């Protein structure tokens, strides 16, 4: 591992929180898409900080339903003293306040909300770009890859995913969830459209909700909530191979 890569990860959190779903519920952070990577990183010996662009966040209401929380996840969610919840609720950093050089790995957690704020989250993007410039790993899951087109490789002036294979939540999945029209009305790009806009090759999972992760060099991406842990484990594996 290069000497300038601390075994410390920045887990980025969406700061957007607002109505999206037909039932009036809000999008925001998809809980397990941050919890599962956090658990994997800590288990692998990483120190982990959490940050959003604004230093604030809100939860995606649907991410707290039984369909997406197993018994252990639900137990953790209701434990205010769990280290993840402490970091999320009382130690969430504002990205501009952080020193990019402190980190060797960047992981973008998600929720549909990221489509609204990650493309313009300049300070989070700058941290990820700095990590990548120093030879570190940049990873993202589900809608988290919305941040990737704006992360610029200083050696090329292009996005770090230009010419690379990436995955993320499928447009087909948006149709299944009846959310594609809402996304189009908001004029925010889908993950597939964002990847195409900077010359990346989008790779779809076998089905929209299958556990699936793609590794291309030091860029690691995952397709959906079920892929959050796998994506983090792959990012760790890449980091440990540097």
- Catalytic residue, chosen from 174, 185, 192, 214, is 174
**Beta strand pairing status for 18-19 and 26-27?**
antiparallel
Whether 142 sits among the annotated catalytic residues: the reply is yes
Whether 192 sits among the annotated catalytic residues: the reply is no
Residues 6+ apart with CB under 8 A from 170: 191, 192, 204, 205, 208, 223
Whether 174 sits among the annotated catalytic residues: the reply is yes
Tokens 């796998």 correspond to what residue?
A: 230
Q: In this structure, are residues 236 and 40 in contact, taking their beta carbons and an 8 Å threshold?
A: yes
As a three-state string, the secondary structure of the chain is: CCCCCCCEEEEECCCCCEECCCCCCEECECHHHHHHHHHHHHHCCCEEEEEECCCCCCECHHHHCCCCCCHHHHHHHCCCCCHHHHHHHHCCEEHHHCCHHHCCEEEECCCCCHHHHHHHCHHHHHHHHHHHHCCCEEEEECCHHHHHHHCEECCCCEECCCCCEECCCCHHHHHHCCCHHHHHHCCCCCHHHHHHHCCCEECCCCCCCCCCEEEECCEEEECCHHHHHHHHHHHHHHHHHC
- Catalytic residue, chosen from 33, 53, 143, 192, is 143
Catalytic site positions: 142-143, 174
């Amino acid at each position: 591992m290069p000497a300038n890569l601390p075994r410390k990860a920045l887990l980025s959190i969406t700061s957007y929180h607002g109505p999206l779903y037909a039932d009036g519920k809000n999008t925001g952070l998809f809980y397990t898409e941050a919890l599962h990577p956090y658990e994997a990183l800590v288990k692998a010996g990483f120190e982990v900080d959490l940050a959003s662009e604004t230093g604030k966040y809100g939860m995606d209401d649907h991410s707290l339903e039984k369909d997406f929380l197993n018994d252990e996840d639900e137990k953790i969610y209701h434990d205010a003293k769990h280290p993840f919840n402490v970091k999320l609720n009382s130690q969430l950093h504002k990205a501009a306040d952080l020193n990019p050089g402190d980190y060797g790995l960047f992981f973008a957690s998600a929720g549909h909300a990221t489509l609204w704020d990650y493309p313009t989250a300049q300070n989070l993007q700058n941290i990820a770009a700095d990590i990548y410039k120093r030879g570190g790993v940049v990873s993202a899951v589900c809608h988290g890859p919305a941040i990737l087109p704006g992360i610029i490789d200083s050696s090329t002036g292009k996005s770090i995913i230009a010419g690379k294979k990436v995955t993320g939540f499928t447009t087909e999945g948006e149709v299944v969830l009846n959310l594609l029209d809402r996304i189009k009305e908001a004029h925010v790009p889908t993950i597939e459209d964002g990847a195409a806009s900077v010359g990346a090759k989008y790779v779809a999972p076998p089905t929209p909700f299958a556990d699936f992760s793609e590794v291309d060099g030091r860029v690691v991406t995952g397709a959906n909530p079920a892929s959050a842990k796998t994506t983090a484990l792959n990012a760790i594996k890449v980091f440990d191979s540097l």
